[in-house]
């Protein structure tokens, strides 16, 4: 006969157990009191004895519950701490020694979650390079919105990788394997918007020698990505809005409505809210496309990803090259107004310029090197490992920024693109004397 199993939440079991212990203790106490009253017993020393017995029973029951519930957690924590990935994460985080077991458990769980999120990001999104918290938060957004048909608006500065995000959304959606059609709104000539988007019939205008499908029709069943939608003319915006609402359109010169099933993604490097206020973008279209917003962080806000990006771009460089630690030290504090695209172009140029296969500071553009001071601590040439060189670079950059800000950690954290708590941990990790910068000026 098939056995039926019942599963009860741990959030119910534990309170139920302790409530049972409390009820049991109350019943026993009541019985003892009744017995003493019935037999008119007045032994004062017996009451503390029974209190001690009941307390001991409660303690033993609580200890058993804790052993049953907490032991598996302790085993997990011990095994997790033995993992090289968790040990590395712990050393990088430079956490303080926990004060109690619960704080210790919470710290290990946070490290495990951090490592798992990095592995997930690398496996699910191999084309999006980065392991910083802002990138992992972005990828978490993608995993949530991708399986839906929700319209997505991707905003961010030029060169941050908005097209990569749009592609990732499509590849992780239910429309994967269906058409993914892209159109850069900046590249569409004036007067050809309707033809590009909706297509045209043969003979509909001079030069229309054949029937042409538009982007909407080509994307039927899949995804249409309109890059830099802020550059779309107002009259075209009205027609786009109608298609999004009605799911049908007509080709230029055509009379037959064509129905489409398209998932819509748009991107912009402009502030559409401001454009709406200034009358440069339709308010109704803005609210129609701004269903789920994704904001691409600029490179200056995720500088911890620069070494990963450098390695990735140099693997695809026209000449085999590696970046010297001194050159990497120059690249890290740069503001990167052109973001990831600027970094990629810089590395491609440097790889071509260097003759020894090692990119040095002199191979980098003057626009990057001129703002870099010699007061940053350069790592020695005989550093035993890349990790040690990177630690020296990171320490040198922190010292330089603290010098510029006069030791004001809030301003230093803003300049470094990290939160204040993270900066504090790094200062402790590298034993940096913060008081020595108090007299410096920015």
- Condensed to tens digits (0 to 9), the pLDDT of residues 389-398 reads 677 777 778 8
> 299 vs 107, which has greater pLDDT?
299
**Strand stretches in 279-421, DSSP E:** 292-295, 322-323, 358-359
Q: How far apart are CA 243 and CA 161, in angstroms?
A: 27
Determine the average pLDDT of the residues in 74-98: 57
- Condensed to tens digits (0 to 9), the pLDDT of residues 201-239 reads 887 777 667 888 899 999 999 999 999 999 999 999 999
State the CB neighbour count (10 A cutoff) for residue 103.
13
Can you tell me which residue has the tokens 């590696």?
322
- Token output for 77: 């924590």
Q: How far apart are CA 322 and CA 303, in angstroms?
A: 19
The pLDDT of residue 238 is 92
Label residue 184 by pLDDT band (50, 70, 90): very high
Q: Is residue 305 predicted with pLDDT exceeding 50?
A: yes
Sorted by sequence, the CB contacts under 8 Å of residue 303 that are 6+ apart come out as: 332, 333, 416, 417, 418
Considering the entire predicted model, what is its pTM?
A: 0.63
Determine the average pLDDT of the residues in 328-335: 85
Portion of the chain with pLDDT greater than 90, in percent: 32
Instruction: List phi, psi (to 5°) of 293.
Output: -100, 135
Pairing mode, strands 212-213 and 199-200? antiparallel
Determine the average pLDDT of the residues in 9-27: 71
| Averaged pLDDT of the chain | 80
The pLDDT of residue 439 is 46
- Condensed to tens digits (0 to 9), the pLDDT of residues 269-281 reads 999 999 999 999 9
Q: Is residue 246 predicted with pLDDT exceeding 80?
A: yes
């Amino acid at each position: 006969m098939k056995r039926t199993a019942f599963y009860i939440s741990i959030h119910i079991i534990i309170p139920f157990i302790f409530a049972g212990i409390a009820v049991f203790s109350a019943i026993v106490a009541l019985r003892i009191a009744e017995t003493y009253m019935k037999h008119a017993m007045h032994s004062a020393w017996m009451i503390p004895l029974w209190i001690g017995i009941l307390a001991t029973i409660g303690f033993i029951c609580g200890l058993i519950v804790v052993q049953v519930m907490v032991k598996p957690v302790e085993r997990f924590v011990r095994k997790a701490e033995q993992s090289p990935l968790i040990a590395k994460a712990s050393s990088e985080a430079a956490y303080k020694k926990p004060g109690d077991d619960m704080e210790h458990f919470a710290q290990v769980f946070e490290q495990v979650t951090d490592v798992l999120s990095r592995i997930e990001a690398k496996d699910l999104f191999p084309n999006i390079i980065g392991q910083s918290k802002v990138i992992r938060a972005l990828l978490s957004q993608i995993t949530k919105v991708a399986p839906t048909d929700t319209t997505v608006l991707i905003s961010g500065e030029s060169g941050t990788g908005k097209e990569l995000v749009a592609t990732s959304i499509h590849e992780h959606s239910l429309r994967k394997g269906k058409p993914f059609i892209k159109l850069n709104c900046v590249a569409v000539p004036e007067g050809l918007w309707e033809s590009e988007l909706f297509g045209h019939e043969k003979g509909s205008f001079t030069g229309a020698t054949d029937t042409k499908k538009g982007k909407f029709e080509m994307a039927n069943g899949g995804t249409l990505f309109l890059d830099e939608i802020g550059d779309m003319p107002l009259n075209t915006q009205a027609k786009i809005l109608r298609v999004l609402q009605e799911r049908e359109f007509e080709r230029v010169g055509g009379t037959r409505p064509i129905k489409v099933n398209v998932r819509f993604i748009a991107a912009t490097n402009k502030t559409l809210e401001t454009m709406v206020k200034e009358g440069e973008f339709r308010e109704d279209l803005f609210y129609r496309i701004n269903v789920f917003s994704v904001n691409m962080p600029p490179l200056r806000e995720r500088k911890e990803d620069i070494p990963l990006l450098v390695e990735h771009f140099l693997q695809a460089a026209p000449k085999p090259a590696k970046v010297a630690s001194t050159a990497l030290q120059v690249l890290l504090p740069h503001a990167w107004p052109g973001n990831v695209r600027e970094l990629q172009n810089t590395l491609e140029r440097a790889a071509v310029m260097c003759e020894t296969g090692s990119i040095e500071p002199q191979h980098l553009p003057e626009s990057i090197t001129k703002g870099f001071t010699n007061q940053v601590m350069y790592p020695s040439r005989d550093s035993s490992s890349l990790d040690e060189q990177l630690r020296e670079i990171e320490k040198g950059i922190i010292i330089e920024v603290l010098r510029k800000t006069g030791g004001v950690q809030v301003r230093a954290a803003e300049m470094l693109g990290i939160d204040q708590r993270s900066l504090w941990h790094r200062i402790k990790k590298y034993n940096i004397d913060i008081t020595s910068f108090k007299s410096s000026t920015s």
